[in-house]
Chain A
């Protein structure tokens, strides 16, 4: 064990025999510590920037949904500055192009704030901003996340709206115009009508109910039992009663009959009330049947792709997805803003608490102190040679705690992208989370942009789009708490339409509909709450298409609708008649079963009441006579006594 002891002592020189007692400080560790510090310095000098750049690229790619590249990144410890250059964000829709390309982003943090664990940037500069630029190689696009159970109710509502707007209305109308025969489709439809199933179910329920009621009626007191009570009542002595004792005996018998009657008649009365309620419910379910029939008609229309030929439906089909896309973007940005810039707590003087991946962060701020993150000002300027970009703007007070900063975040931008044919961009974004109700407002205008080649409807049977057009747009979104108010106005001028269709009739029909239309307006207004949005879309293109297509299609569509209604009614008519007849039979049988007993009850009740009244009257008369007699006797007695004394 001496060996073990020696070897262990060697690991700790403080206890090594003969080397002298050493103090608690490990002075000999200075050299290894210096080496470690040197290695750390070397890492930060040679590799840190590269690793940080990769990390930012990875995070930004996740946020962007497609590859983000950063050409260079330089950090300086002494200046606390960061310079990022050549940022290219792939457009997920067009991987060969960049959504945004930024020449350089430079900013410097305050050491005073960094030492307090906060990031405060006095002024940042964003230069050389371009949009829609070509990439040297296509960027990687991340797979779209599938909607999970965790999504909110508002997201589900938007998904439902998307499904509604995604319908191929124009293609369906084209199919009708090109001569699709509804007869063939109708022959295969109608085998699985909901109303037919519903009637079968109702018939079954009706039979079950009938059985239940029959057995319940059989358990009720029989007519003979009420006859026996009638017989007992007839035998109660009501006439020639000479004294109160006889009356009392009759009354007792009457009470006994009354008690028996109440017990038996109660169950009949209760059963009658329950039966009336049940029959009323049955009749109400018949009213629901009509709704189901209408649903069947609508469902068959949808399966036959028989759309409504109205401007509202056409407006939604032409521009609904565009508007929905904007609304979804607004919601996404709103969620992020509210997550990173929480609104002020409703409780006065409450410490703001931010939910983090691990635990909760408490912000013990005080007036004039730093929030965890604060970008005071960022200047955007972009004047590239060759006129590819001319942009200017500023972003003020991006902070994670607006109540500490005391100001809302405001971002303004204006400029042109001549190479992309976009000019007159003006945008202002205000994120005001100073109060307990968060408010976001975005106003964005684009004076002119090229809309040539834009598809409005695309299906195998028909395609409609602009072959030439210039657009201008205004977008105003105001979000206050859960309330949404979004207005979108688009004006397309110098419009030339491009129509492709398999059928000449369809092409002719659409061309005739849009002939003479050289400007298209779209007005969209979306209001309400995220769980209940009201979509108002109107466009003169839909009006023109409705007018034009109605001339060609109205007769065919009316005929198809009439056929569908006839099909549904034909399928269920016999069943429905049988059901109604069965219901009538059941009602009359059950009601007549109860009616006989009810008549006996009514008769017995009136007999009991009359007998009771008669006995009470006789009792009162006898008592009056006795009282009179007693009074006379007492008067006489008093006279005798008076005479005696």
Chain B
């Protein structure tokens, strides 16, 4: 829980800084795939490993995974239709048959209509979410954070001794 909270605070800090935009956007994209994938599946494990191994903002990934899991649940009927249409495509049948009998691949549960539909939708939307969230983060920083910085109360607060003391503390603490 502490780790999770720490990651969430890190996400808030990062949102309010000038850096880490790509990491946050990648976190949202990974969260989308994670939220749309079945909980116990190979692709969920791979995304988790990626989140831990690469500099992807874990807080963003986890928060968006929760959010997108709810969206995915709402869209289960749509995913079922999309997945069924893909799995019933005659031209893809030899490929699916090969995949079904390969090691590891069936652990993705690609043969389930909802897993397939949600998986395809999430992979298709991942780049859009990446670039979209990147633009949103930049817009947030330019409009919300900058306006906050110009706020009189914030200026008064940054002028206080307490703030200066805390700034020094943060600086020395690294």
Contact = CB atoms under 8 A, between A and B. Distances in A.
B100 to A, nearest CB: 4
Interface of B: 3, 9-11, 13-20, 23, 52-55, 57, 76, 79-80, 83-84, 87-88, 93, 96-97, 99-107, 109, 111-115, 117, 145, 149, 158, 163, 166-167, 170-171, 174
A361 to B, nearest CB: 5
A113 B117 CA distance: 25
A373 B26 CA distance: 38
B100 A4 contact: no
Contact of A356 (B10, B16, B112): B112
Interface in A351-407: 351, 356, 358-366, 369-370
A24 B26 CA distance: 12
Contacts of A351: 87-88, 93
Contacts of A273: none
Interface of A: 1-12, 14-16, 22, 24-26, 29, 32-33, 36, 112, 115-118, 351, 356, 358-366, 369-370
A361 B108 CA distance: 12
Contacts of A24: 54-55
B163 A3 contact: yes
B14 A358 contact: no
A8 B19 contact: yes
A190 B18 CA distance: 93
B80 A366 contact: no
A11 B13 contact: yes
Contacts of B83: 359
Contacts, number: 133
Contacts of B87: 351, 362
A6 B169 CA distance: 11
Given A4-B13, A11-B13, A358 B53 contact: no
Contacts of B80: 359-360
By Cβ-Cβ distance, the 8 closest A-B pairs, closest first, are A8-B17, A117-B106, A11-B10, A359-B114, A8-B13, A364-B100, A359-B113, A15-B19
Contacts of B18: 5
Contact of A369 (B3, B14, B57, B101): B101
B52 A1 contact: no
Contacts of B167: 2-3, 6
8 contacts: A7-B13, A8-B17, A11-B10, A12-B20, A24-B55, A29-B52, A116-B105, A117-B109
A6 B171 contact: yes
A6 to B, nearest CB: 6
A23 to B, nearest CB: 8
